[in-house]
Amino acid sequence: MTIENNHVVAVSYILHIIEEDGSKVLVEETTAENPLTFLYGVGMMIPKFEQNILGLKAGDKAAFTIQPEEAYGERQPDALAQLPIDMFKEAGTPPVGAILPLSDNQGNNFQAIVVEVTDEAVVADLNHPMAGKVLDFQVEVLNTRPATAEELAHGHAHGIDGTDAH
């Protein structure tokens, strides 16, 4: 069975970023025992990732790169937020490099990275951590199957066999 829209897909993958000098840095690796399982075609994955595995079947392998503009976008140097230091009275002031869970006015959750701490503010970089990065994937398709009606209604996969209710 080949991957198509509204299929549950399980893949193992190795993700590197390609640095400007051409070197590769390992970012993440999944295994057959702990695969990435997702509902194909509903916007959960980078569209270019899905395009590169469309039509593959269990056992197929693919290697591809995704440029920043087709992944998480280019880094925006002005995407910095000055968060008042008073926001951190209860939790404590985060150190430089800490990841802050934030929400926007529409209730969307995202993460920011602390880049500076002053007496008045915590400066957070709102760029996605992978913004500006060239992504290099090595993927193996482990399984693909049509999604169940419940998975389609929920908008996400319930595991490789459809039994992991979320």
Which residue's structure tokens are 């760029």?
127
Q: What is the pLDDT of residue 164?
A: 67
Q: Report residue 118 as tokens.
A: 């002053």
Strand partners, 146: 7
How far apart CA 1 and CA 146 sit, in angstroms, is 9
Kindly report whether the global pTM for this prediction surpasses the value 0.95.
no
Q: How many of the other CB atoms lie within 10 Å of CB of 67?
A: 12
CA atoms within 13 A on the CB side of 71: 21
Q: What is the pLDDT of residue 126?
A: 93
Measured at the alpha carbon of residue 13, what is the angle toward residues 137 and 75, in degrees to the nearest 5? 45
Q: What is the pLDDT of residue 165?
A: 54
How far apart CA 126 and CA 116 sit, in angstroms, is 13
How far apart CA 69 and CA 108 sit, in angstroms, is 21
Which residue numbers in the chain have pLDDT < 50?
none
Q: What is the pLDDT of residue 37?
A: 94
Pairing of strands 121-125, 109-117: antiparallel
Q: What is the pLDDT of residue 129?
A: 85
Q: Could you give the domains of the chain?
A: 7-72+132-154 (3.10.50.40), 80-125 (2.40.10.330)
Query: What is the gyration radius of the CA atoms in the chain, in angstroms?
Result: 19
How far apart CA 3 and CA 53 sit, in angstroms, is 7
CB 42, CB 155: distance < 8 Å: yes
**Percentage of residues of the chain with pLDDT beyond 90:** 76
